[in-house]
């Protein structure tokens, strides 16, 4: 039994194997939601600084590196999430030594991957950007920016590891604190390097890399001072082949899942670009609005992953089922609310972005069509994260493949049907959510996830 000083040190660690599931899920999800919204605010401010003080070419150069950095982040964040799932299972099973050994191994597994990716981007960044048909006027700036931020891949991966492990232990507040600190530092450094020192896109890249270094270092210090699981001995760093195999087994499918989804979004963007600037602008407005709508689903899903991992590790499958029902009801209620809102007030919301009648018409139609399918988007985030938390990540990778194929195969053909036309773009997203949400529910009902515990200490008969 923990003594009082240890309890105080681990005050943010949350055992989600006990207590009302709804309160636990909400308590975990709200800090994540705040962090996601803060991140969006930071991205907007960062873009304004670059666009106004460096120029539109520089802003385009920063944006053009997005697909590459997204794919790299998908790999390292997928591995980090996989490590978090393993930690959650061990935490639920009360295997403290294995938690520490997993943390120790993670400190060199993920950064080594990030290091190799950083070297590759630094040396071959221009080649990758040419493959993406980066415009010639932005290529030079894009290469500079990509090479600069590649220096920050290691601290970014380290911060991802710390955040994922802390969340696996039920602590979603500490990652929020240091995410906010990172964003504030980044904006502050942008102002210095861009506006004062006139370093252009290199300054933007240095600000990004340096803010990640500082926030990762501060988070590491804080985690070691406030959480006993991070107080490691030399033996905790010994390479553990069993843990390494589990990281690969859980992390790689998640990384590929995110990569497939990113590729599918690039494919549908190519279709959208063929319908003129008004439709592209309307599509952009819908995506910006829906990015905000996604965050509650994402935060609830992340809470479900940790909740599931801990309870599967403890052998409490019945609690996972109970939490699943609570989460589905919450996501469905939110979906219904947003559906009613967009069916009645979509025009008012869209006009915040501008009053061009064609753009407003396209965006309003988009919100009204896609909001009809939000309930399935909730099914995806809740169920997919439950399966991820249980360790059933191979199916989640397959789910990502299905999402990619659905978007690629439906987007163009649907728009060619006369009575559907441009609405085919909106229907593609909705039908993709319907397919994926249905597949996730079927997988959940089949129950294979109940038998995948990554720990070896199940305490309850699986039902």
What value does the mean pLDDT take over residues 249-261? 78
- Give me the pLDDT at residue 47, please: 64
Q: How far is CA 38 from the centre of its chain?
A: 14
What value does the mean pLDDT take over residues 322-331? 94
Bigger pLDDT: 1 vs 112: 112
Q: How far is CA 26 from the centre of its chain?
A: 18
CB < 8 Å & 24+ apart, contacts of 189-198: 190/46, 190/49, 190/50, 191/49, 194/49, 194/50, 194/53, 194/54, 195/49, 195/53
Bigger pLDDT: 253 vs 375: 375
Please state, in angstroms and rounded to a whole number, the distance separating the CA atoms of residues 399 and 393.
9
Tokens of 141: 């700036």
- Give me the pLDDT at residue 458, please: 43
- Give me the pLDDT at residue 460, please: 42
- Give me the pLDDT at residue 146, please: 87
pLDDT of 274 > 80? The answer is no
**Looking at 7-16, 94-103, 219-228, 376-385, which range is the least confident one?**
7-16
pLDDT of 262 > 80? The answer is no
- Give me the pLDDT at residue 4, please: 45
Q: In the predicted model, what is the mean pLDDT of the chain?
A: 83
**Looking at 44-48, 230-234, 365-369, 383-387, which range is the least confident one?**
44-48
pLDDT of 376 > 90? The answer is yes
Nearest CA to 335 out of 283, 372, 381, 286 is that of: 372
pLDDT of 122 > 70? The answer is yes
The Cβ of residue 120 has, within 10 Å, a number of other Cβ atoms equal to 16
- Give me the pLDDT at residue 463, please: 40
Grouping H, G, I as helix, E, B as strand and the rest as coil, residue 452 is coil
Rg of the chain over Cα atoms, rounded to whole angstroms, equals 22
What value does the mean pLDDT take over residues 285-292? 79
pLDDT of 442 > 80? The answer is yes
- Give me the pLDDT at residue 182, please: 85
pLDDT band at 93 (very low <50, low <70, confident <90, very high): confident
What value does the mean pLDDT take over residues 251-255? 79
Instruction: Tell me how many helices (H) and strands (E) the chain has.
Output: 16, 0
Please state, in angstroms and rounded to a whole number, the distance separating the CA atoms of residues 81 and 312.
16
- Give me the pLDDT at residue 109, please: 82
pLDDT band at 63 (very low <50, low <70, confident <90, very high): low
Burial readout 314-343 (b: 16 or more C-beta within 10 A, e: otherwise)? bbbbebbbebbebbbebbbebbeebbeebe
Boundaries of every domain in the chain:
37-239, 272-451
The model's pTM is 0.78
The Cβ of residue 380 has, within 10 Å, a number of other Cβ atoms equal to 24
Burial readout 414-424 (b: 16 or more C-beta within 10 A, e: otherwise)? bbeeeeeebbb
> What is each CA distance from 238 to 97, 224, 242, 375, in whole angstroms?
12, 19, 12, 46
What value does the mean pLDDT take over residues 405-433? 85
- Give me the pLDDT at residue 170, please: 85
391 φ, ψ to 5°?
Answer: 100, 5
The Cβ of residue 23 has, within 10 Å, a number of other Cβ atoms equal to 10
456 φ, ψ to 5°?
Answer: -120, 35
CA dihedral 192, 198, 201, 205 (to 10 degrees): -30
pLDDT band at 56 (very low <50, low <70, confident <90, very high): low
Q: Quickly tell me which residue has 């150069």 as its tokens.
A: 61
> What is each CA distance from 214 to 23, 184, 319, 452, in whole angstroms?
33, 11, 39, 37
How much of the chain, in percent, has pLDDT values that exceed 90? 17
pLDDT of 332 > 90? The answer is yes
Burial readout 62-96 (b: 16 or more C-beta within 10 A, e: otherwise)? bebbebbbbbbbbbbbbbbbbbbbbbbbbbbbebe
Bigger pLDDT: 307 vs 401: 307
């Amino acid at each position: 039994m923990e003594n009082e000083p240890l309890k105080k040190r681990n005050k943010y660690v949350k055992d989600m194997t006990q207590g009302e599931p709804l309160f636990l899920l909400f308590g975990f999800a709200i800090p994540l939601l705040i962090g996601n919204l803060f991140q969006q605010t930071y991205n907007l401010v960062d873009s304004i600084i670059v666009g106004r003080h460096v120029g539109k070419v520089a802003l385009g150069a920063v944006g053009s590196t997005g697909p590459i950095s997204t794919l790299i982040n998908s790999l390292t964040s997928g591995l980090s999430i996989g490590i978090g799932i393993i930690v959650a299972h061990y935490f639920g099973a009360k295997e403290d030594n294995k938690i520490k050994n997993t943390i120790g191994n993670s400190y060199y597994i993920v950064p080594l991957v990030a290091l190799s990716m950083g070297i590759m981007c630094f040396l071959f960044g221009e080649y990758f950007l040419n493959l993406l048909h980066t415009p010639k006027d932005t290529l030079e700036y894009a290469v500079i920016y990509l090479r600069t931020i590649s220096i920050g891949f290691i601290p970014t991966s380290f911060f991802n590891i710390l955040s994922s492990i802390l969340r696996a232990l039920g602590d979603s507040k500490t990652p929020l604190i240091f995410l906010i600190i990172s964003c504030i530092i980044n904006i502050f450094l942008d102002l210095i390097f861009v506006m004062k020192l006139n370093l252009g896109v290199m300054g933007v890249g240095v600000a990004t890399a340096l803010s990640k270094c500082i926030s990762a270092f501060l988070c590491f210090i804080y985690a070691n001072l406030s959480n006993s699981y991070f107080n490691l001995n030399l033996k905790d760093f010994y390479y553990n082949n069993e843990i390494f195999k589990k990281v690969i087994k859980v992390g790689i499918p998640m990384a590929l899942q995110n990569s497939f989804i990113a590729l599918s979004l690039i494919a549908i963007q190519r279709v959208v670009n063929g319908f003129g600037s008004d439709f592209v602008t309307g599509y952009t407005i819908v995506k910006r609005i829906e990015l905000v709508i996604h965050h509650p689903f994402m935060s609830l899903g992340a809470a479900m992953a940790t909740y599931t991992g801990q309870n599967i590790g403890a052998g409490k499958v019945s609690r996972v089922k109970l939490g699943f029902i609570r989460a589905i009801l919450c996501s469905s209620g939110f979906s219904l609310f947003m559906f009613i809102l967009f069916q009645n007030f979509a025009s008012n919301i869209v006009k915040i972005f501008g009053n061009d009648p064609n753009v407003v018409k396209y965006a309003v139609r988009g919100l009204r069509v896609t909001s009809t399918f939000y309930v399935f988007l909730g099914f995806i985030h809740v169920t997919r994260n439950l399966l991820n938390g249980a360790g059933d990540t191979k199916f989640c990778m397959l789910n990502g493949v299905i999402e990619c194929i659905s978007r690629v195969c439906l987007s163009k053909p649907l728009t060619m049907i006369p009575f559907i036309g441009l609405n085919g773009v909106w229907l593609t997203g909705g039908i993709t959510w319907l397919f994926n949400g249905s597949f996730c529910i079927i997988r959940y009902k089949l129950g294979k996830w109940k038998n995948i515990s990554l720990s070896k200490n199940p305490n309850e008969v699986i039902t």
